[in-house]
Amino acid sequence: MKVLIRFLYTALLVLVAPALLYGLFRTRTDKPSVGKRWKEHFGFASKLKSHSRPVWIHAVSVGETIAATPFIRQLKKRHPDLDILLTTTTPTGAKQAESLGALVEHRYMPIDFGFAIKKFIAQFNPSQLLIIETELWPNTLHHVNEAGIPITLVNARLSEKSCLGYQKIQPIFNIIKPALSMILCQYKEDAHRFEKLGIAKSRLHVTGSIKFDINIDPTLHQKAIELRNDLGGSRPIWIAASTHQGEDEIILAAHKKLLAKYSNALLIIVPRHPERFNSVFELSKSAGLNTHRRTEEQDHFKSQVYLADTMGEMLLLMQAADVCFMGGSFLGDKVGGHNMLEPAALGKPIISGPSYFNFSEIVQLLKNQNAIEIVNDADSLSLWVDNLFNDKSLYEVMANGAYKTICLNKGAIERTINLVFPR
């Protein structure tokens, strides 16, 4: 039965693979390209510099790679001789992986075809596989397990929606289940949902979210002061981070309302996906707003909107702003929000739209410390940014609460390393 299910799954994958590969390989403006490395998606990858068995860490895209970064740094600090093979599926994830320099060697993750996975395993012979969050591909897990390689989900999360989705395809999940050596969950609720799917309690551990263990570069503060001075040090500045198509209009409308009261206010807008840089730039200009790009060499003092068309600078941009709105939260059930912990670690008051189901536990922790406000539209968004610009005591309560939330929940990386690499 299991063989038949995997056969049917692979047949379905063959049908959808052209669309998946087109999305990965298509060249887009302002988006990194896979280029000549496309063969890696089929298991044809160059050997590593080291000949020892590496720890294989998979982080599908940008968000997971950012989450994995402090974990990898701490792991290498404790085990400096450990070789790490980091895979991502997307080219934007590969670009983010460059920030780790010599700490890792990067290759693209093979597509979930048996021949590609087996070739990849034979080439690198990893000692174990650590999957960041919950990226579960049946053929990959089957063949890695068959090769005797332990598999651990790190920083695993499973929303109620995803749990219900897996229950609908329980026979496929039953194939995945035996391959998972350990699942290190962010919260008790995640562990309960994995248990509902039939994972034994002995393989489930609650470690907390590694995203709370954010290390701020000590040079960031000075760099942010310099950026702020370039933008106009005394003006009120807010940032809309990781925005998606369909919510930029809401954000820009809110900013126009703010400009009626604060004529020198500046919005830093950071689209989630690089391929949208140009369209957001044109959208902002068409809204009648004086819009400049970060990559433009010009005087930004008269800018009303500052488009961050670079990658890897989110913390710097957040630190230069007074208030942070987190995108991906105005789109119903399409996205479910993005990570609010980066602005929290910087002590920034946080605003979110009503859809944050992927971060509901984090939002509750922030609410407990009066660090976040949930808004529903452009009017309430502009009102709350206005409140934070205008009310110093409110600002301090939310800023202090945000930072306190981080301090109270640190330690997941240490707990994770202790479980995966016991002393």
Residue 33, pLDDT score:
84
- The residues near 407 (Cβ < 8 Å, ≥ 6 apart) are none
pLDDT tens-place string over residues 275-301: 899 999 999 999 999 999 999 877 788
Can you give the pTM of this predicted structure?
A: 0.78
In the chain, what are the domains?
13-214+411-420 (3.40.50.11720), 220-408 (3.40.50.2000)
Band (pLDDT 50/70/90 cuts) for residue 68 is very high
Residue 124, pLDDT score:
96
Q: Which residues pair with 107 in a beta bridge?
A: 87
Q: What is the mean pLDDT of the chain?
A: 93
Query: What are φ and ψ of residue 317, in 5° steps?
Result: -65, -40
Band (pLDDT 50/70/90 cuts) for residue 215 is confident
Highest mean pLDDT among 127-131, 170-174, 175-179, 206-210: 127-131
64, 105, 342, 373: the catalytic one is 64
Closest by CA position to 256, among listed 228, 229, 286: 286
Structure tokens given for 279:
């369209």
The answer to whether 296 is a known catalytic residue is no
- For residues 112, 118, 120, 125, the Cα torsion angle rounded to the nearest 10 degrees is 130
Structural contact between residues 283 and 250, judged by C-beta atoms closer than 8 angstroms: no
pLDDT tens-place string over residues 396-420: 999 999 999 999 999 999 999 999 9
**Percent of the chain beyond pLDDT 90?**
74
Strand order in the sheet with 266-271: 291-293, 305-307, 266-271, 237-243, 323-326, 350-352, 372-374
In the predicted model, is pLDDT for residue 313 greater than 90? Answer: yes
Cβ-defined contacts of 40-44 (< 8 Å, 24+) = 40/107, 40/108, 40/110, 41/108, 41/109, 41/110, 41/111, 41/116, 42/110, 42/111, 42/113, 42/115, 42/116, 42/119, 43/110, 43/115, 43/116, 43/117, 43/118, 43/119, 43/120, 43/123, 44/119
Question: What is the DSSP code string of 111-173?
Answer: PS-HHHHHHHHHHH--SEEEEES----HHHHHHHHHTT--EEEEEE---HHHHHHHHHTHHHH
The CA distance from 154 to 184, in Å, is: 5
Strand order in the sheet with 128-132: 105-108, 84-88, 55-58, 128-132, 151-156, 182-185, 204-206
Mean pLDDT value of segment 64-70: 90
Name the strand (E) or helix (H) holding 254.
helix 248-261
Highest mean pLDDT among 64-78, 162-176, 245-259, 302-316: 245-259
Residue 391, pLDDT score:
97
In the predicted model, is pLDDT for residue 111 greater than 70? Answer: yes
Mean pLDDT value of segment 342-367: 94
Which residue in this structure is represented by tokens 């929290």?
344
Structural contact between residues 88 and 106, judged by C-beta atoms closer than 8 angstroms: yes
Residue 25, pLDDT score:
84
In the predicted model, is pLDDT for residue 193 greater than 70? Answer: yes
pLDDT tens-place string over residues 229-257: 999 888 999 999 999 999 999 999 999 99
Largest CA distance in the chain: 67
Query: What are φ and ψ of residue 410, in 5° steps?
Result: -75, 165
- The residues near 179 (Cβ < 8 Å, ≥ 6 apart) are 141, 142, 144, 145, 151
Name the strand (E) or helix (H) holding 305.
strand 305-307
Using CA atoms, how far residue 204 sits from 41, 131, 152, in Å, is 31, 15, 10
Mean pLDDT value of segment 322-342: 93
Band (pLDDT 50/70/90 cuts) for residue 30 is low
Residue 352, pLDDT score:
98
Task: Report which of residues 156 and 361 the model is more confident about.
Answer: 156
In the predicted model, is pLDDT for residue 172 greater than 70? Answer: yes
Structural contact between residues 21 and 264, judged by C-beta atoms closer than 8 angstroms: no
The CA distance from 202 to 336, in Å, is: 30
In the predicted model, is pLDDT for residue 423 greater than 90? Answer: no
Lowest mean pLDDT among 21-30, 309-318, 325-334: 21-30
The CA distance from 190 to 183, in Å, is: 10
Residue 108, pLDDT score:
95
Band (pLDDT 50/70/90 cuts) for residue 35 is confident
In the predicted model, is pLDDT for residue 195 greater than 80? Answer: yes
- For residues 120, 123, 126, 132, the Cα torsion angle rounded to the nearest 10 degrees is -30
Closest by CA position to 182, among listed 214, 213, 145: 145
Band (pLDDT 50/70/90 cuts) for residue 207 is very high
Structure tokens given for 148:
């005797």
Number of alpha helices (DSSP H) and beta strands (DSSP E) in the chain: 17, 14
Q: How many CB atoms lie within 10 A of CB 254?
A: 26
